[in-house]
Amino acid sequence: MVKVNENYLKFPGSYLFSTIAKKVKAYIEANPDKKVIRLGIGDVTMPLAPSIVDALHGAVEEMGNAETFHGYAPDLGYSFLRETIAKEDYIKRGCQIEADEIFVSDGAKSDCGNIQEIFDESCIIAVCDPVYPVYVDSNVMAGRTGTYDEVTGKWSKVVYMPCTAENGFVPELPKEAADLIYLCVPNNPTGTTLTRDQLKVWVDYANETGAVILYDAAYEAYIAEDNVPHSIYEIEGAKTCAIEFRSFSKNAGFTGVRLGFTVIPKELIRGGVALHALWARRHGTKFNGAPYIIQKAGEAVYSEAGKAQLKEQVAYYMRNARVIYDGLKEVGCEVYGGVNAPYIWLRVPEGMTSWEFFDLLLEEASVVGTPGSGFGPSGEGYFRLTAFGTYENTVEAMERLKKMPSLRK
Ligand code: PLP
């Protein structure tokens, strides 16, 4: 009899977003006349920018022509895109990253989830708490996390680094030994960031201990403040200890188009082995290249017209973030994030759990958000709202919130 991968059976029964979907469905059925506004999930709402649509059309024409048709893409990405990324995202920021250190993929989720495959099963992972669930779940599947405790909401072999208002959402260096350290800056779900100085502490720690930092910069385009690094490679020493993940989903609306990339500097060596070589082997074996059409669209993201149009899109979402941030402040909420990220993280009213606040918001305002506890035990008592809705819906949601009897001071 075939044995299944029993690590999959270790997951707790309910998945955050499916529980939310069920609750929203039940609410809509009971209240068919109410207009529900969703500020819960992190998907974008604006259509693709014109310069990207043009590039897609152009690439489709090429694919329909024998002379310009493209079959399998190079496993690691077309050089036109890798070179553009190296120049625009790294060299221009003073980071010496070469085109062949960039691995093009179908998005950051796959890369963040798959990267753990090149490390030994015995490696201990450290994650911020709350955290983007993919980092932990992909390690659960690989059998690296021990067992799940329903009471504490923690896995026995995972090092949790609480990020709460009390420590300014800055994780402390782990007391336990950690091999793989996941950092997400700007952060999902808290919307907070680390400054260059704060990140330098981690780079120094990883270089001293031999740990590897897995740095998720999916929200890089939202950074507004000068002291927040756009890449971990802005920090001296990062090339010998860090892997960086980037996405085209949130800067260019590619959530349904699919494109991302991972950077592994050749100097990053562990156990005498270049991680670059391992990932090249893994990527080449299990991934057959992002589509030509999509990589051409990715290239257009860096064109002058593309950059200008996408700057406007980011500004549109960040105006929503401001509306949410200011609205919550107005009703006396404790609010974080929303300045360098499209996520707003608020403290729920005293005496309430994150899920109780979810129910209250849905019931009294027909607004959907995400309970902080769904991102980890230290997320309890917090709640995430996203700036990815339309401006009109965002304004309306905040007007409704301001009228909520239980929120008015
Ligand atoms: N990393 C973080 C922190 C995210 O929040 C998300 C999406 O919400 C992703 C990665 C996934 O990015 P992609 O759409 O490129 O797979």
Angle at 167 between CA 16 and CA 251, to 5 degrees: 55
Phi and psi at 55, nearest 5°, equal -65, -40
pLDDT of residue 407: 77
pLDDT reading at 280 higher than 80: yes
Domain chopping of the chain, boundaries: 8-47+305-403, 52-302
The CA 284 to ligand 1 mean position distance, Å, reads 22
pLDDT of residue 16: 84
Helix/strand/coil (H/E/C) assignment for every residue in 72-110:
CCCCCCCHHHHHHHHHHHHHHHCCCCCHHHEEEECCHHH
Confirm or reject: Cβ of 251 under 6 Å from ligand 1.
Answer: no
The CA 217 to ligand 1 mean position distance, Å, reads 9
pTM over 0.95: yes
248 is in an annotated binding site: yes
pLDDT of residue 347: 97
Confirm or reject: Cβ of 233 under 6 Å from ligand 1.
Answer: no
**Which residue puts its alpha carbon closest to atom 12 of ligand 1?**
108
pLDDT reading at 231 higher than 70: yes
pLDDT reading at 17 higher than 90: no
pLDDT of residue 375: 96
Q: In terms of pLDDT, which residue wins out, 13 or 140?
A: 140
Quote the CA–CA distance of 365 and 385 in Å, as a whole number: 14
CB 80 within 8 A of CB 59: no
pLDDT of residue 408: 62
Confirm or reject: Cβ of 42 under 6 Å from ligand 1.
Answer: yes
354-365 vs 16-30: helix axis angle to the nearest 10? 30
Nearest residue to 218 via CA among 177, 184, 267: 184
pLDDT reading at 269 higher than 60: yes
275-281: long-range contacts, CB 8 A cutoff, minimum separation 24: 275/118, 275/212, 275/243, 276/101, 278/118, 279/103, 279/115, 279/118, 279/243, 280/76, 280/103
The CA 48 to ligand 1 mean position distance, Å, reads 17
Topology of domain 52-302, CATH: Aspartate Aminotransferase; domain 2 (3.40.640)
Confirm or reject: Cβ of 254 under 6 Å from ligand 1.
Answer: no
Topology of domain 8-47+305-403, CATH: Aspartate Aminotransferase, domain 1 (3.90.1150)
Residues 42-62 pLDDT 10s = 899 999 999 999 999 999 999
Phi and psi at 317, nearest 5°, equal -65, -35
Confirm or reject: Cβ of 217 under 6 Å from ligand 1.
Answer: no
Quote the CA–CA distance of 40 and 407 in Å, as a whole number: 19
pLDDT reading at 104 higher than 80: yes
Confirm or reject: Cβ of 216 under 6 Å from ligand 1.
Answer: yes
